[in-house]
Amino acid sequence: MDLRGQLKIKPDRLMKDLRDLAKIGKLTTGVSRTSLSNADLEARHWLLKRMADAGLKSTIDTVGNVHGQINTDAKSVIIGSHTDSVPVGGWLDGSLGVIYGLEIARTVLEAGYENTIGIHAISFMDEEGTYLACLGSRKFCQELSDDEIADGQNPAGEQLAHALDRAGLTSNPEIFLDSNAHIAYLEAHIEQGPRLEAERKAIGIVTGIVGIRRFRLEIRGEADHAGTVPMSMRKDAGTAAIRFSHRFLETVEGCKGADSVWNVGFVNFEPGAANVVPAKAELLYEIRDLDAVVLDRMESAIHDLCETANQTGLLQYEITKTIDITPSAMDRALSNNILDAAKDIGSPHMMMPSGAGHDAMVFARHIPSAMLFIPSIKGKSHSEAEDTSEKDIIVGCQVLAGSIEGIFST
């Protein structure tokens, strides 16, 4: 059965759903829908009704994932993302992929492919990590223990278990990945960066999602009066932190890979006064790459820097790894389906890595997974300035629908 060209999305309906969803938790041109907030829960119940009205079997599970399914007896492709946001976020981040899933499910039903194409559209809970990063997808894939859920809390100190109970979710059904029934995972997302716009490409086919390693460096010296102690007699943790960071930047530059990125994201001096020599410095460093070997090389170099610094004996340097996320490769066959679908409609495209984390990195550990990006205007994301042209939004959905045709064509 050749399905090429059979699934035609309805652009006006797609855009209306995206615009209507953006009204929930609206902030000027963006949204604020942090996980399990009133706005987040309102958005989930709006989506549940929208799915039901479209003829999908719709359910909210115990952690707030919203599920919409068609042709449940057929092998299914999961199309998912998230509708929660950062505190001051954009209107498309995550929501785009969720509404694509809804629109493609409706399109399959309207095309008359009962019992042929199974679609399982999902909005996952807390991809952004208000309580626990990728909570929904990790729960769905049975990667989370009860202890991890019990330990989760938001910045205000509310326990995740309490928030789920407050939202009335704990008595809902549990729904899990079925690797026999679910044959693939697809996720569409705004790029959240400037590459597609700079290259004038409408579609990005994601090759993989980077691994992330984060480190906390503590340097301990001695507090002294900044006006009376000679420079040569100080144990200045602040100056040491600046010098160490300079060496960090030079070192990772020297052992980077083609897609490596790094960051000095936080610096704090104690006691933090202009007339006091800092007794303590705390810094956060981060490295990202698609290749675990490159990450290993960069991490080793960072530890060597710390060991060398400690050999002077003047100050104490301690580095601790706080996050270690493994790189996730996307499935080549699924990625080629997206590539072919882009070619079929003549859409300019490119292969590219994802420098940000997504629910797809969880799924890639369990079933074949792939991602599609569309451009972000000026590369903006996680802010009210985030936006994408309507034309690119529509093209992205049609390309994703085309990739579904490729999966189910025989």
Instruction: Give residue 116's pLDDT.
Output: 87
**pLDDT tens-digit map of 13-51:** 999 999 999 999 999 999 999 999 999 999 999 999 999
Q: Report the distance separating Cα 137 and Cα 367, nearest Å.
A: 13
Q: What is the pTM of this model?
A: 0.91
Residue 1 has pLDDT above 80, yes or no: no
Average pLDDT for residues 277-297, to the nearest whole number?
97
Dihedral (C-alpha) 346, 104, 100, 123: value to the nearest 10 degrees? -150
| 8 A C-beta contact, residue 109 and residue 70 | yes
- Cα angle vertex 38, ends 35, 41, to 5°? 65
**pLDDT tens-digit map of 52-111:** 999 999 999 999 999 999 999 999 999 999 999 999 999 999 999 999 999 999 999 999
Instruction: Give residue 174's pLDDT.
Output: 96
Q: Report the distance separating Cα 77 and Cα 60, nearest Å.
A: 19
Locus of tokens 């399914």: 69
Out of 4-8, 236-240, 330-334, least confident range: 4-8
Query: What single-letter amino acid sits at 76?
Result: S
| 8 A C-beta contact, residue 89 and residue 32 | yes
**pLDDT tens-digit map of 141-192:** 999 998 999 899 999 999 999 999 999 999 999 999 999 999 999 999 999 9
Question: Residue 250, by phi and psi: left (phi above 0), alpha (psi -120 to 50) or beta?
Answer: alpha
Residues sharing a CB contact under 8 Å with residue 151, sequence separation 6 or more, in sequence order = 160
Average pLDDT, the chain: 96
Q: Report the distance separating Cα 79 and Cα 400, nearest Å.
A: 9
Instruction: Give residue 345's pLDDT.
Output: 95
Instruction: Give residue 276's pLDDT.
Output: 98
Residue 371 has pLDDT above 90, yes or no: yes
Residue 331 has pLDDT above 90, yes or no: yes
**pLDDT tens-digit map of 94-130:** 999 999 999 999 999 999 987 789 999 999 999 999 9
Residue 410 has pLDDT above 70, yes or no: no
Q: Which residues on adjacent β-strands are paired with residue 124?
A: 82
Read off φ and ψ for residue 88, nearest 5 degrees. -125, 90
Pairing mode, strands 261-270 and 280-289: antiparallel
Average pLDDT for residues 386-410, to the nearest whole number?
95
Residue 284 has pLDDT above 70, yes or no: yes
Instruction: Give residue 146's pLDDT.
Output: 87
